[in-house]
Amino acid sequence: NEQTQVVNRELHHGDVVEEKISLSDRFGLGLSFYPINEAQYFEIVDHLFGEVRDREQLHVRARRFSMEKGVRSGRTARQFYNQFVGEF
């Protein structure tokens, strides 16, 4: 939405999206975040949070976070870390 353009008082969101897609197609760019199992997810979370005393509580909240997002991936673990780093 931030990149939606107004041209002659008309919104042109599709033009911006199509331009990005064409660049991706032209240069073969692709970024995927593959789902991982829960043990791998917790391993990433543990690595990101370093020395946390209550790993059980950390894992409960990390599990809940991934369920709310609908996927467990390295990206989800990083989003969880970014959101909750100050609380642990």
pLDDT in tens, 15-50: 666 777 776 777 776 777 788 999 999 999 999 999
Does residue 20 share a domain with residue 57?
no
Q: Are residues 22 and 55 in the same domain?
A: no
Tell me, yes or no, whether 81 and 53 share the same domain. yes
- Distance between CA 28 and CA 2 in Å, rounded? 24
Domains contained in the chain, number: 2
DSSP bridge pairs for 7: 10
What is the model's pTM?
0.63
Rounded (10°) angle between helices 74-84 and 55-69: 120
Do 18 and 49 belong to one domain? no
Q: Do residues 25 and 48 share a domain? A: no
Query: Do 51 and 78 reside in the same domain of the chain?
Result: yes
Average pLDDT across the chain, whole number: 83
Answer yes or no: do 48 and 77 share one domain: yes
Cα separation of 69 and 64, whole Å? 9
Tokens of 55: 């790993």
Q: Facing residues of 6 across strands?
A: 11
Domain range for 45? 38-87
